[in-house]
Amino acid sequence: MVWTSSACAAGWGEPHLAIVSRSENEADRVASVTAPTSDFTAPEQFETHPAGAATSFEPDTQDAFSFPSANMSFERELEFAVGNGLFKKLWVTAPASTQSSDGLGPLFNARACQQCHIRDGRGHPPEDNEDPGVSMVLRLSIPKVDGEHDLSANAPEPTYGIQLQDKSIAGIAAEGRLHIDYETVPVTMGDGTVVNLRKPTYSVGAPAYGDLHPDVQISPRIAPQMIGLGLLEAIPEADILAAADPEDADGDGISGRPNRVWSNEYGQWMLGRFGHKAGEATIKAQSASAFLGDMGLSTPLTPDSWGDCSPAQDNCRQAPNGNSGDEQVEVSTQVLDLVTFYSRNLAVPARRAADAPEVLRGKSLFYAAGCTSCHRPKFVTHRLTDQPEQSFQLIWPYSDLLLHDMGPGLADNRTEWDANGQEWRTAPLWGIGMTRTVSGHSYFLHDGRARSLLEAILWHGGEAEPARETVRTLSAADRAALITYLESL
């Protein structure tokens, strides 16, 4: 596929990275090593190391997502450990005797990063409507007025802001509760097997501040796994844009396109890489948004001490805050940088059984079905002067980091920057086979509706419909081989 938009052909820039330009010889080597394979008789060279030299070969336990980059120096491991402590820290209401830990809320969904990203893994939807479900949030917005050109991703819901908070500090009412109803959707496979999907409908129970706007757009999100984020951040922008084809100029039915997002961190437009719709450009920005939206904590990038309290929630905006220090924020630059460093360096586990015959057969089926059109196997990261763990690594994330139309079945009908209501960023697949071990469940997709990898595939529509249909019509033995391959990632 070829990127054809003249407006963005050269990209928006990568001010977050200290880049050493590739030589012509290095560029040739990168092109060779990232070329698609057609040999499925044995693993490719370095395929067992999905994160290059940063790959973790620690035991496959429930802590498999919590190890540092394997190529990290001993000195930097201390910084990682401190960041880990801050990631797990429980924040408290202001004022408190420990200034560096107060400022929670006034409205919030969790008290610590780790409460959503349990063991740095994937979140899950509530088991029932009585479950607080801290791993899932509801994003809210209303359609923007035609002609609006402000630098916000969405128009917030006028009363409830950009996210529904189901918890609050004393004296402030929580906004409401997420409510899910499931409908069974049977899908008949090519061999006659019936797979029952569950189709969710979302609503807000007991809204505390009156009815939501009649045109409210609701988008559920579960916390994604945290591994390999720094390596995704270090992929050259040009290599991502080279695969974009928004007008489907090559006629292959795949129209991936980048999300252009505004960076408060750098004061410019940048390529979106993080979040279910690629709505954030950097790990630091993603972390700051989570501090603000999920815990109601201000940072230098998101300085509102009241978090997501809207102008209509005046008592919420007047509540005590934990702003302190020279920066007068609740999460200082030092704390944000340490959490960012930790998040950047959570290692990807090594591949398992990459040379097993069933895995290799499943790999050939994965390629034949066209899955690699979006789940791009390989990249080589930038050579970097200040991030040795991410510098010039051959990585296997199985994502192109682009937006794709996934059809009406997965649509949330909510825009986010340039992403429309049916578009989602291709989710990286590395580590996906460790989900049950780390997270204790096998729920997938942006809202956890899929209870298995097969269900996740069967929800694919839009650009992915041909690949889904190929999988749906496979024999039971071939389906099993395909799933075995995915579970080895």
In order along its 489 residues, the chain shows pLDDT tens digits of 333 443 455 689 999 999 999 999 999 999 999 999 999 999 999 999 999 999 999 999 999 999 999 999 999 999 999 999 999 999 999 998 877 899 999 999 999 999 999 999 999 888 887 776 568 999 999 987 765 556 677 889 999 999 999 999 999 999 999 999 999 999 999 999 999 999 999 999 999 999 999 999 999 999 999 999 999 999 999 999 999 999 999 999 999 999 999 999 999 999 999 999 999 999 999 999 999 999 999 999 999 999 999 999 999 999 999 999 999 999 999 999 999 999 999 999 999 999 999 999 999 999 999 999 999 999 999 999 999 999 999 999 999 999 999 999 999 999 999 999 999 999 999 999 999 999 999 999 999 999 999 999 999 999 999 999 999 999 999 999 999 999 999
Domain 19-73+230-259+348-488, second-level architecture: Orthogonal Bundle (1.10)
What pTM was computed for the model? Answer: 0.96
The pLDDT of residue 58 is: 96
Cis peptide upstream of residue 300 (ω within 30 degrees of 0)? no
Question: For residue 373, how many C-alpha atoms fall within 13 Å in the half-sphere facing its CB?
Answer: 23
Beta-carbon contacts of 153 under 8 Å, excluding residues fewer than 6 positions away, are 261, 262, 279, 415, 416, 417
Distance CA 222, CA 314 (A): 29
Give tens-digit pLDDT for 166-224: 999 999 999 999 999 999 999 999 999 999 999 999 999 999 999 999 999 999 999 99
Beta-carbon contacts of 426 under 8 Å, excluding residues fewer than 6 positions away, are 256, 374, 375, 376, 399, 400, 401, 402, 404
Give tens-digit pLDDT for 390-447: 999 999 999 999 999 999 999 999 999 999 999 999 999 999 999 999 999 999 999 9
Long-range own/partner contacts, residues 188-193 (CB < 8 A, 24 or more apart): 189/472, 189/473, 189/474, 189/476, 189/479, 190/472, 190/473, 190/474, 190/475, 191/475, 191/476, 193/476
Domain ranges of the chain: 19-73+230-259+348-488, 76-224+261-344
C-beta atoms surrounding 76 within 10 Å = 16
Contact yes or no for 163/308 (Cβ under 8 A): yes
Q: Is the dihedral of CA 381, 385, 389, 392 positive or negative?
A: positive
Joined tokens for residue 315: 């008592």
Beta-carbon contacts of 8 under 8 Å, excluding residues fewer than 6 positions away, are 241, 258, 260
According to DSSP, residue 144 is labeled: P
Rounded-to-10 torsion of CA 40, 46, 49, 53: -170
Question: Which residues sit opposite 198 in a β-bridge?
Answer: 184
Report the candidate in 361, 372, 393 with the shortest Cα–Cα distance to residue 467.
372
Residue with tokens 């034949």: 368
Distance CA 284, CA 273 (A): 12
Beta-carbon contacts of 439 under 8 Å, excluding residues fewer than 6 positions away, are 118, 119, 121, 122, 123, 124, 225
Distance CA 87, CA 291 (A): 10
Helix or strand run (H / E) with residue 338: helix 333-344
